[in-house]
Amino acid sequence: MESTSILSLKPTYKVAYFLYMICYRLDLHQSGNSFTLPSYVTLTLIASFSRSKKFTVSHVFQELEERGYLEKKGRKIIIRDFARFKTDLANSLSEKITFIAM
């Protein structure tokens, strides 16, 4: 399998991967399978990390919300099922990059 940079992937994968990494790096997954992201984790921050436009991140968040991975309530971002999100992301990326499931 040829290694590909995460930044060369479609926006859906990039945004989802960086959202996962933020949750992991902040140890949010340690508090359970469902949790609210800190207020400083915004669409703008995720757009910056993923080198995507805020509009794109908003669109991807809508897709993730429709799939039941997260919920947006105003500015709050709630991860509804982190385990399923992680598993599905790893499966989706397994053919595209080496996914580091931490």
CATH 1.10.10.10 assigned to domain 6-93? The reply is yes
Confidence of residue 80 (pLDDT cuts 50, 70, 90): very high
Q: What is the pLDDT of residue 13?
A: 86
Q: What percent of the chain has pLDDT over 70?
A: 87
Map out the domains of the chain as residue ranges. 6-93
Question: Is 1's pLDDT higher than 50?
Answer: no
Give the tens place of pLDDT for each residue, 57-66: 999 999 999 9
- 22: its two tokens: 């933020």
